[in-house]
Amino acid sequence: MVSGLQRVRSGSSVEKELQKLQNQAQGDPEYARALAAIRYYLHCVIWQCQVRWKKRAAGVTNYKTLLNQIRHYRKEQEDVCLVTFNYDTLLEEAVGATPLNIEIRTFSDYIASHYRIIKLHGSVDWAHEVVTPLEKIASSQPWDIVNELINKVATLEFSEIYRMVDGIPMARFEGKGLFPALAIPVETKHRYECPDLHVHELDECIPEVNRLLVIGWRGTEENFVQQLAKNLKGTPQGMVVSSGQISAKSLIGRLGQSGVRADFSAFSGGFSDFIASPELEEFLKT
């Protein structure tokens, strides 16, 4: 059923194949179960990857370097809004490290400081509560609960309440099942996978933006693009960092066609090159 993800055809993409699977899941329990299994797969694999990466890199990440530079040039009382579509928690850990020391233990903590973190596609440590009673909820084996959730996903009711979890696999909390709160990476996403409070905070932040730094984003999230186009005020300074200058200029063109007004520059290299370049300092000092 998911063989298309293992052998993506020429001219297609993983996002296109997942979009097809999501469309087929409407009214088809078998495809719905496949999508549920993919959510748990993403939850577990990305969790394990970030754990191993932190051990290998001894906690060093580009996020920490970038945030330290932002901290150095941030004016007093100036807010920083960090929007990410990644599922991992490396950004949260970066703001939690010295010298920022911002602890994120609750969903309110994400937007409580001068450094707001908005994760529009969810997170590996976020879950929805399952309202529907489960047969195996009393089981001591988390994977038994996960398998029941996957098998019955087409008939389950999910709460809009978000929970933060620690460890894999997420399975239950206070007698209720837990389901990964992360968006399947499809071509067209019609809604965000994050608390409404965070989306409201983003609406408040965008009109105040005077510098817009875009790193490693392809601009395919149409709802966010339109949110920027609608709510950005004036013409903020912008910098796009992609795999290279050609792809950065391509994104600048797409954003301009969508009505995103900013005075963009295209960086010539990738993220690691950018944080070691004088262009980062010049951009933050502007």
pLDDT in tens, 231-257: 999 999 999 999 999 999 999 999 999
Q: What is the DSSP string of 103-163?
A: ---STGGGGSSSEEEEETTEEEEEEEEE-S--TTTT-S-HHHHHHHHHHTGGG--EEEEEE
The owner of tokens 């993403």 is: 42
Q: pTM, whole model, 2 decimals? A: 0.91
User: Domain locations in the chain?
Assistant: 3-55+123-182
- Residue 27 identity (one-letter amino acid): G
Residue 10 has what pLDDT? 54
Both tokens of residue 150? 């996957």
189-214: pLDDT as tens digits: 668 999 999 999 999 999 999 999 99
Distance of alpha carbon 209 from alpha carbon 3, whole angstroms: 43
Instruction: Determine if the peptide bond prior to 169 is cis (ω within 30°).
Output: yes
The owner of tokens 């394990």 is: 48
Beta-bridge partner residues of 158: 130
Closest to 175 measured CA to CA, from 136, 126, 127, 125: 136
Query: What are the C-alpha distances in Å from 175 to residues 40, 76, 251?
Result: 19, 45, 46
Count the neighbouring beta carbons within 10 Å of the beta carbon of residue 58. Answer: 6
- Residue 283 identity (one-letter amino acid): F
Residue 90 has what pLDDT? 95
Whether 33 contacts 154, CB under 8 Å: yes
Residue 212 has what pLDDT? 98
Closest to 270 measured CA to CA, from 211, 212, 216, 217: 216
The owner of tokens 């580009």 is: 62
| 3-class SS of residue 195 | coil
Taking each helix axis from N to C end, the angle separating 29-57 and 14-24, rounded to the nearest 10 degrees, works out to 140
Residue 138 has what pLDDT? 80
Residue 187 has what pLDDT? 62
Distance of alpha carbon 13 from alpha carbon 46, whole angstroms: 20
pLDDT in tens, the chain (286 residues): 455 545 555 555 656 776 676 777 677 889 889 899 999 999 999 999 999 988 888 888 999 999 999 999 999 999 999 999 999 999 999 999 999 999 999 999 999 999 999 999 999 999 999 999 999 888 779 999 999 999 999 999 999 989 999 999 999 998 899 999 999 877 666 689 999 999 999 999 999 999 999 999 989 888 999 999 999 999 999 999 999 999 999 999 999 999 999 999 999 999 999 999 999 999 999 7
Residue 17 has what pLDDT? 72
Both tokens of residue 68? 């330290």
